[in-house]
Amino acid sequence: EIVMTQSPVTLSVSPGERATLSCTASQSVTTNLAWYQQQPGQAPRLLIYDASTRATGIPARFTGSGSGTEFTLTISGLQSEDFAVYFCQQYDNWPPLTFGGGTKVEIK
Amino acid sequence: QVQLMQSGAEVKKPGSSVKVSCKASGGTFSDYSISWMRQAPGQGLEWVGRIIPSLGIANYAEEFQGRVTLTADKSTGTAYMELTSLRSDDTAVFYCAKTLKLEWKADFFDNWGQGTLLTVSS
Q: Which residues of A touch B (CB under 8 A)?
A: 32, 34, 36, 43-46, 49, 55-56, 87, 89, 91-92, 94-102
- Tell me the one-letter amino acid at B110: D
Q: How does pLDDT run along chain B (122 residues), one tens digit per residue? A: 899 999 999 999 999 999 999 999 987 777 899 999 999 999 999 999 999 999 999 999 999 999 999 999 999 999 999 999 999 999 999 999 999 999 989 999 999 999 999 999 99
**In angstroms, what separates the C-alpha of B40 from chain A's closest C-alpha?**
12
Alpha carbon A18 to chain centroid, angstroms: 14
Please give the pLDDT value at position A41: 95
**In angstroms, what separates the C-alpha of A22 from chain B's closest C-alpha?**
16
Candidates B64, B109, B110, B116, partner chain A, best to mutate (most A CBs within 10 A): B109
Q: Do B107 and A94 count as a contact with CB atoms less than 8 A apart?
A: yes
Q: pLDDT tens digit string along A14-47? A: 999 999 999 999 999 999 999 999 999 999 999 9
**In angstroms, what separates the C-alpha of A87 from chain B's closest C-alpha?**
8
Please tell me the number of Cα atoms within 13 Å of A61 on its side-chain side.
12
Provide the sign of the torsion angle of the four alpha carbons B28, B29, B31, B37, taken in this order.
Answer: positive
Q: Which residues of B touch A32 (CB under 8 A)?
A: 105
Q: How far is CA A74 from CA A23, A52, A60, A82, A85, in A?
A: 11, 11, 10, 11, 14
